[in-house]
A and B are shown apart, each in its own frame.
Chain A
Amino acid sequence: MTAHAVREALPARRARVRLPFKGQTTLRLGLAILLAMMAVGVLGRVALPSADQQDLANAFAAPGSPGHLLGTDQLGRDVLAWISDGIWIALAVALGVVVISSVVGVAVGLCAGYFGGVADMLLMRLVDLSLAIPPLILFLAAAAVLRTSIVTLILLISAVSWLPYARLVRSVTLLERERGYVITARLAGASRTRILVGHLLPSVSTVVLVLASLQVGYVLLWESGLSFLGLGVRPPHHSLGYIIAQGRDSLQQAWWVVVLPGAALALLVLAANLIGDGLRDLIQQDVEVAER
């Protein structure tokens, strides 16, 4: 069997994270940062006072003050405790959005790519439309008429975020559906569901994973941005965006209330981007190795 025929017979782009190429440093760094942040989050649950606990006597304590490693805000609330809760909220929202939008997006993308026709056209028009309207505006518009809770926030962001998945999966499906192994399955009489789920789905899984990790960064920024404006996550939950907004008025006296949660947020976004880039590099190299 020639090399070409062998390639055609096998599904492409299975993620085999094995070779120590350049993607790995990036990936490792991203994961390290993520784990460090999660550790901070755990620390908060376990060892710190509640972020709600006000201590007016100790308001505006600077970082390094006894009992408050990162200081307190104008109500004496411990910044580190808030950051640690904020990390969990951010990750929870990100996870929720990624799961929902990827599931919906992949499903729609697979169908659009495989079956084509009206569904496909509709999808592409939706994609065009989504490019024209920045998501933040839509979120704001929705916030004007809804009372946002964490759940509605997740649904809202997902409603916009599923489109990139659909578009990506659609284009990959269009390519993959002409490949040897799919045609073979079709000829062998496999049901459409089986082809979609059993063959095409694994092929798109790797690129979806890369997209998901890159999307996490956006979700984190949107959530915190909305919370900053008071339209996202509000007390009793503790969002990083919310406390940054709180600290804004007292910027001169207590810079740490703004700077430190923001740094935590930036680190989370950085971790997500590094992981996404690292995965993408690894998969790219995997394709190159397979080609050789």
Chain B
Amino acid sequence: MNLVRYLGWRIVQGIFVVLGAVVVSFLITNLAGNPSDVIGGGLLTPAQRAQIGHQLGYDRPVLVRLGDYVTGVLHGDFGSSWRTGQSALGLVLKALPNTLILIACAMTLALLLAVPIALYSVLRRETRVDRSARATMMLVAALPDFWIALLLVLLLSVNLGALPSIGFDSPRSLIMPALAIGLPLIPTSVRLLRAALLDVVSQDFITTLRAKGLGEGTIVTRYALKHAAGPFVTLLAMQVGWLLGGTIIVEVIFAWPGMGSLLQDAVTNHDIAVIQAAVVIVATGYVLLNLAGDVLIALMDPRIRVGAR
């Protein structure tokens, strides 16, 4: 398929997704209508509730408010945090890089372990080591990320005093949160990569490689891996996209100044504008990441890059 046309279509899809996210974020935060009850802690008189509601614009029809919101978004205006008055979008964008750094580290860590495990699993299929490795993966996959985080804090920070457990002061602060997020990623990554590799290894050109006298190890690590990268990268991009919103609890535990902590604060303070902005940014991030993944794959595949004869 023509690369440009494919990308164009994907961009259009992405725009729809982002718009959808805008609508969804609006709808969710307006589930309960006038939020003055929740904001005021249920201590307000009906008159006060009505007044706050009017101030925040909740007495207008839903669709009108939705329209206003969408128009605002298209101009880059996500409203302001009603608590601090700062631009909601600004707050989110300030916190975003910290979360991204965390995710990048977690992903790198996960891949550093997942790739060798997957390769080994393919080369030594169904041996006892392979089976015990897979059982271990199952166990790791069941561990809640916040529990891992607390265990790490317990072991490394409390007992050994080795690593900082609060905030983002130095690269060392990265270690524990990255571990807490990265470890649960390993089992899924191993499974995806292993499946992709097994799929590649069953194809005809692998027989040709064997017929050339190349050993299984060389074939899997130097050839099959390149071919498996495609489907693997696609799924990986999806996972990373999910992580954008999945770091919340770990960030809270480590007081990491990222989107997660921001969201938690916003929820506690019922800061709706910030939450809405966060949802839209996360969705946009997901779309961009997947797009980047697709572009990467397309570039790697000569069939798309060079085109037919």
**Residues in A lying within 8 Å of B, measured CB to CB:** 125, 128-129, 131-138, 140-147, 217, 221, 224-225, 228-229, 231, 241, 244, 248, 251-252, 255, 258-259, 262, 265-267, 269-270, 273-274, 277
Contact = CB atoms under 8 A, between A and B. Distances in A.
A273 B142 contact: yes
Choose among B20, B21, B264 the residue with the greatest number of A CB atoms under 10 Å from its CB. B20
Contacts, number: 145
On chain B, which size bracket covers the interface?
35 or more
A250 to B, nearest CB: 11
Interface stretch (B45-53, B151-159, B173-181): B151-159
A133 B24 contact: yes
Contacts of B16: 125, 128
A137 to B, nearest CB: 4
B150 A229 contact: no
Given A129-B24, A269-B142, A144 B249 contact: no
Interface string B3-36: 0000000000100111011001100111110010
Interface in B217-267: 238, 241-246, 248-249, 252-253, 263-264, 266-267
Given A258-B154, A259-B150, 5 more contacts: A129-B20, A133-B279, A140-B264, A224-B144, A270-B138
B158 to A, nearest CB: 5
A134 B246 contact: yes
B147 A265 contact: yes
Given A144-B266, A146-B31, A262-B150, A133 B138 contact: no
B154 A251 contact: yes
A7 B147 CA distance: 48
B159 to A, nearest CB: 8
Contacts of A224: 144
Choose among B17, B25, B30, B276 the residue with the greatest number of A CB atoms under 10 Å from its CB. B17
B283 to A, nearest CB: 4
Contacts of B249: 225, 228-229
5 contacts: A125-B16, A132-B241, A132-B282, A137-B279, A269-B144
Contacts of B272: 144-145
Contacts of A269: 141-144
Nearest to B283: A132
A262 B147 contact: yes
A135 B246 CA distance: 9
Contact of A136 (B139, B150, B153, B245): B245
B141 A141 contact: no
Contacts of B253: 248
A145 B30 contact: yes
A270 B139 contact: yes
Given A144-B275, A228-B146, A229-B264, A128 B17 contact: yes
